[in-house]
């Protein structure tokens, strides 16, 4: 069974030359599409490499910060009391 697009194309074509031209156009568009896909693959690979680099860098930074030891709270002995701050 033919779909509408095929019927429309066969009605609009007046010669075999036009059919050949359409095939050439499809081949050209196919080649352009392949080049765009190659470019897209390259962009995807570069993006993935950057992502992996950032992830590894983050893990290294976290390990270095964790290696420093236990985190202690800031000393409160030299902080003014809240009443003294309000009086000044």
Encoded tokens for 56: 């590894």
**19 touches 13 (CB < 8 A):** yes
Residue 76 has pLDDT above 80, yes or no: no
Alpha-helical runs (H) found in 1-88: 4-12, 16-67, 82-87
Express as a percent the part of the chain with pLDDT over 90: 24
- 77 phi and psi, to 5 degrees? -70, -30
Whether 8 is covered by a domain: the verdict is: no
Instruction: Spell out where the chain has E strands.
Output: none
pLDDT of residue 40: 83
Structural domain containing residue 26: 13-66
Answer yes or no: is 77 within a domain: no
Is residue 61 situated within a structural domain?
A: yes
Say which residue, 5 or 64, is predicted with more confidence: 64
- Is residue 58 one of the residues assigned to a domain? yes
Three-state DSSP class for residue 45: helix
In the structure encoding, which two tokens stand for residue 15, read together?
């010669």
Is residue 57 domain-resident? yes
Q: How many domains does the chain have?
A: 1
pLDDT surpasses 60 at 84 = no
Q: What is the pLDDT of residue 23?
A: 80
Across 14-36, average pLDDT: 74
> What average pLDDT does the structure give for the chain?
76
Greatest mean pLDDT range, 14-23, 52-61, 78-87: 52-61
């Amino acid at each position: 069974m033919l779909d509408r697009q095929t019927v429309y194309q066969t009605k609009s074509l007046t010669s075999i030359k036009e059919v050949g031209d359409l095939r050439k156009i499809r081949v050209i568009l196919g080649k352009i599409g392949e080049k765009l896909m190659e470019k897209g693959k390259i962009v995807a690979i570069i993006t993935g490499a950057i992502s992996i680099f950032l992830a590894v860098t983050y893990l290294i930074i976290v390990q270095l910060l964790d290696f420093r030891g236990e985190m202690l709270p800031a000393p409160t002995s030299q902080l003014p009391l809240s009443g003294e701050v309000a009086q000044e």
